[in-house]
Amino acid sequence: MDHFSKFHFLWGQEQKCAEEVCEGLEVHVFGFVGLPIIYQSDNGLEFKNSFASKSQGLVEQANRTLERLLAAMMTQLNTDDWVGLLPKIMFNLNTQQSSATKFMAYEIVFNKQPNMGNEKKFAETNFINDQEIEVEIEQEGTEPRSNEPSVDSASQSDENDNNETRTTLFDQLNKRVLEYEVGDKVSVAIPRIDRGGTDLPNLPGVIGRKTKDFYEIVTEYGILNNCLRAGDLEMFNGPLNFD
């Protein structure tokens, strides 16, 4: 995942080893966007990088988000072919609004709106403390290390200028407005603290009532006590176990 745009690259691997990871990066990432200034991984002691060996929270959180999406989609579609689901999940992630940039990753990378068809609607992706994690990444990624080579100051200055230019450009784009209608099937994220070990990360339901910017959600367990905003919901395409 690119930290600035939040653009995701997903592919499956048979083994989690350095050789296969390098081959995957060359095929799926470097050939598309070129070499990154800093590469970060979240694999414990299995991978190390001389420039930025310490994993940051955004990397770990992105991995957890992917795991939850895979689990939910595999359950909805009743399949164990998780590799086959990666292209769909990658497109969904790249066409959802980031809470940090306020734009879709697709917009930032390609400077245009994606073609999502007439019926497809996407919910907003909210990374917890996303902006705070970004600040941490900026600080740790650019801090010189006494026993490691540092990024050239001129190159870093150019990169910062480019980021400011891109941010200004995409601040001028129109912000997408997300709306649901009564009867739409949606899912609500369940906080980790409220879930058991075998519980799904999302609770499916249907829009029962709409009041301005708030939605009443009906589930198989009854009506949720609190009405939710559109940014708290995701479209649900699976079957519901209630009428």
What was the pLDDT predicted at 42? 58
Can you give the length of the chain in residues? 243
What was the pLDDT predicted at 81? 86
Q: Return per-residue pLDDT of the chain as tens, 243 residues.
A: 777 788 888 888 877 777 888 888 888 888 777 887 777 765 555 555 544 444 456 667 777 888 888 888 888 888 888 888 888 888 888 888 777 777 888 888 888 888 766 444 444 444 444 444 444 444 444 444 444 444 445 445 555 665 665 555 555 443 344 678 899 999 888 877 777 766 778 889 999 999 888 999 999 889 998 888 887 888 888 888 777
| Cα–Cα distance measured from residue 102 to residue 167, given in angstroms and rounded to the nearest whole number | 10
What was the pLDDT predicted at 58? 67
pTM given for the model: 0.45
What was the pLDDT predicted at 162? 58
What was the pLDDT predicted at 209? 92
The CATH number that domain 1-177 falls under is 3.30.420
- Let me know: does 206 contact 240? Beta carbons within 8 Å: yes
Q: Is 188 helix (H, G, I), strand (E, B) or coil?
A: strand
Per-residue tokens: 34: 């070129």
What was the pLDDT predicted at 207? 93
Per-domain boundaries in the chain: 1-177, 185-235
What was the pLDDT predicted at 216? 94
180-to-3, 63, 98, 222 alpha-carbon distances in Å: 30, 28, 19, 20
Residue 191, sorted as left (phi over 0), alpha (psi -120 to 50) or beta, turns out to be beta
CA torsion sign for 87, 237, 234, 191 is negative
What was the pLDDT predicted at 32? 77
What was the pLDDT predicted at 206? 94
